[in-house]
Amino acid sequence: MIDLHSHTTASDGSLSPDELVALAVSRGLEAIAITDHDTFEGYEQATPFAAKAGLELVRGIELNSRLERPGDRTRWVHILSYFPNSKPADSFVAWLRTQQAERRDRNRRLAQKLQDQGIAVTVEEVEAKGRSLAGRPHFARLLVEKGYVGNIEEAFRRYIGEDAPAFVERDSPDTPGIMRIIRDGGGVPVVAHPVRVGLPHDDAERGWLRSLKDEGLLGLEVIHSEQDASLQQYYGALAKELGLIPTGGSDFHGTIKPDIELGAGRNGNVRVPYEVLTGIKRISGEVS
Ligand code: AMP
Ligand code: ZN
Ligand code: FE
Ligand code: FE
């Protein structure tokens, strides 16, 4: 078994890259992809540990994009990108730096908006938790620690979630735009946890994915901790129908999401066979 969606302390996971490698080995996984938000730093740090442990490590990343549809609110869509055979192009790395700067700026604006609402949270405190690429889960933990909310879920619901009063938008590319950026960079773009996009499972979702395929989309994350067996079956059939490769992973974050296990997901709902990685490698070789 493998796991193609995991996070380290380089973004908002709680395990360091070497701890994540050790966990993957102890769980008997054949391969993992590290897919931190907006950075390859965790992957790069994990590389020597994985080599020593004999674990196959795949370079991945999770990126943010905005989906604008006529008559609909803005939706925020996570796109995974895999680079199984080669390093990303210089243009991609340069673009990534703009996204990292944008994330830092978003964090400053988010801290300010919370302060405006009487919440004593500074960006320095958040960065002390999550370093410069801190994310909203770090804000959420701080809000819990300071007693403003009882748990992480409540922090998102009452303050920093998409529909909450302190939410600030990020300046992210739109979904077609990010397809071109990833493909030009040599990556394999995959729509992450499609259930979270929140489109009804009918022609709305099908049509959107089909149009995105025309822009360069190659895969769909069929298996994910937040997708139960029937949804995995549904997305598996949809991927087949649209000619997208099915991928999967737990979205492991460590103690930030304590109910999700590496290589196993939530209550064992994630089981990803090695063939899934073979599919990614094959398509990566064909398109590059
Ligand atoms: P960021 O990339 O910094 O905007 O943070 C986004 C991350 O916050 C996502 O990857 C999720 O892991 C987490 N997240 C978003 N919404 C929620 C929620 N309602 N409850 C818990 N975690 C959430
Ligand atoms: Zn995350
Ligand atoms: Fe995500
Ligand atoms: Fe993730």
Q: How confident is the model at residue 80 (pLDDT cuts 50, 70, 90)?
A: very high
Q: Looking at residue 129, what is its pLDDT?
A: 85
What pLDDT is attached to residue 142? Answer: 95
132 has pLDDT over 90: no
Q: Which residues line ligand 1 (CB under 6 A)?
A: 37, 135-137, 152-153, 156, 161
In angstroms, the CA 48 to CA 43 distance is: 10
Quick one: tokens of 208?
């959107």
Quick check: 230 pLDDT over 80?
A: yes
pLDDT for residue 287 is more than 90: no
Q: How far apart are CA 183 and CA 247, in angstroms?
A: 17
Best mutation site among 136, 157, 160, 195 for ligand 1 pocket (most ligand atoms within 8 Å of CB): 136
Distance CA 70, CA 84 (A): 36
Residues linked to residue 63 through DSSP beta bridges, in sequence order: 79
- If you measure from the C-alpha of residue 13 to the centroid of ligand 2, how many angstroms do you get, rounded to a whole number? 7
Tell how far the Cα of 15 is from the centroid of ligand 2, in angstroms. Answer: 12
Q: How far is the CA of 136 from the centre of ligand 1 (A)?
A: 6
User: What interhelical angle do 136-145 and 123-130 show, nearest 10?
Assistant: 110
Strands 56-67 and 31-34, bridge-based pairing: parallel
- What is the distance in A from the centroid of ligand 1 to the CA of 161? 8
Look up residue 239 and give its two tokens: 């991927």
Q: What is the mean pLDDT of residues 115-136?
A: 91
Q: Which atom of ligand 1 is nearest to the CA of 170?
A: 4
Residue (of 55, 78, 58) closest to 66 by Cα position: 78
User: Minimum-distance ligand to the CA of 139?
Assistant: 1
* Dist. CA 218 → ligand 4 center (Å): 18
**Residue 130's pLDDT band (cuts 50, 70, 90):** confident
Nearest CA to ligand 1 atom 13: 137
Atom of ligand 1 nearest to the CA of 134: 3
